[in-house]
Amino acid sequence: MSRSYTRNLNTASLITLCPVCLHSFQDAKRATLRRADLRQRSKDTCTYCQTRYGFDYYVQPAAHRNPTRREAKAYAATAED
């Protein structure tokens, strides 16, 4: 697997997030976050709160999961004799 993230990048999804806003995105679980540049040293103003400083991230919508399928797996009966 390549560590190069240059394929199919949408620059419109590039945002800057401080640690507080980053955790809010991670807790929501509606988006997948990926650092734009792992070697980034300088921080920019956060896109959301505009008060703290953070790093650049690519935001992509999370894959839609079917909750009924998960429930079916969770309640599957096991064969016990």
The domains of the chain are located at 12-74
Q: Is the pTM of this model over 0.85?
A: no
Each residue of 10-47: pLDDT tens digit? 555 889 999 999 998 888 888 888 899 999 999 999 99
- List all residues 6 or more positions away from 15 whose beta carbon is below 8 Å from its beta carbon: 47, 48, 56, 57, 59
Place of tokens 């300088």: 42
In this predicted structure, the answer to whether residue 60 has a pLDDT above a threshold of 90 is no
Residue 30's pLDDT is what?
80
Identify whether the C-beta of residue 46 lies closer than 8 Å to the C-beta of residue 16: yes
Average confidence (pLDDT) over 69-79: 50
CB-neighbour burial class of residue 74 (10 A; exposed 0-12, middle 13-18, buried 19+): exposed
Is the pLDDT confidence value at 49 over 60?
yes
Span between the terminal Cα atoms of the chain, in Å: 44
